[in-house]
Chain A
């Protein structure tokens, strides 16, 4: 089975802190994604990557950056955390199948910024 793991299930940080969220997948997927999930807004794409060292902005990249130094690992960085970044963060990965690819999700990290 495909496994996508995220470094923390729950995280509490202070405003202004630099926050790292880590995601690892074990199926050699080319594509990796970071979303945030908020009530009433569904999933919104922050960044995605289709290859090592490659990254593309999603719908809401402001305040975030990403890093993909190895194929299996995709990190989301909050350079200076703010209270409006309190959310559930979901990582996902997929093969490239011309659009028909299934996304495999991690369990999520619930981040609270105080």
Chain B
């Protein structure tokens, strides 16, 4: 079956530090890949996505590149802010039994200190 593996958190950084959150996946088909973010007390919201190999998704200074050869979709940001503190989920969508089924990683908590 499909699976998504993310690095365990929490990741604790100082403001303006470089961020990387690793994500690797296993899929039977050719999935689309996503990063979602969950701020405290809220539901998840899409941060960025990529639908084919070598695509780069980007939003709010965050980037991730779909790497088919390494089955990875690592999230990066050059300079984090306190407001980026949240839980980040890597996810894929792949066809199964005729429907596109989403699969989420376990989430990585990011804490940014001033």
Contact = CB atoms under 8 A, between A and B. Distances in A.
B20 interface: no
Contact of A99 (B41, B95, B97, B107): B95
B43 A108 contact: yes
A30 to B, nearest CB: 11
Nearest to A102: B46
Interface string B64-96: 000000000000000000000000010001110
Contacts of B45: 104-105
A58 B41 CA distance: 25
B42 A101 contact: no
Interface residues of A, number: 26
Given A99-B95, A102-B34, A102-B49, A43 B43 contact: no
Given A43-B89, A50-B99, A56-B99, A103 B105 contact: no
B106 interface: yes
B32 interface: yes
Contact of A105 (B43, B100, B106): B43
B51 interface: yes
Across the A-B interface, give the 3 residue pairs with the lowest CB-CB distance, nearest first.
Answer: A105-B43, A42-B106, A43-B104
Interface of B: 31-32, 34, 36, 41-46, 49, 51, 89, 93-95, 97, 99-107
Interface of A: 4, 33, 35, 40-43, 45, 48, 50, 56, 58, 90, 92, 96, 98-108
Given A99-B51, A103-B102, 13 more contacts: A4-B43, A45-B102, A48-B101, A56-B97, A58-B101, A90-B43, A90-B44, A99-B100, A100-B32, A100-B93, A103-B36, A105-B36, A106-B43
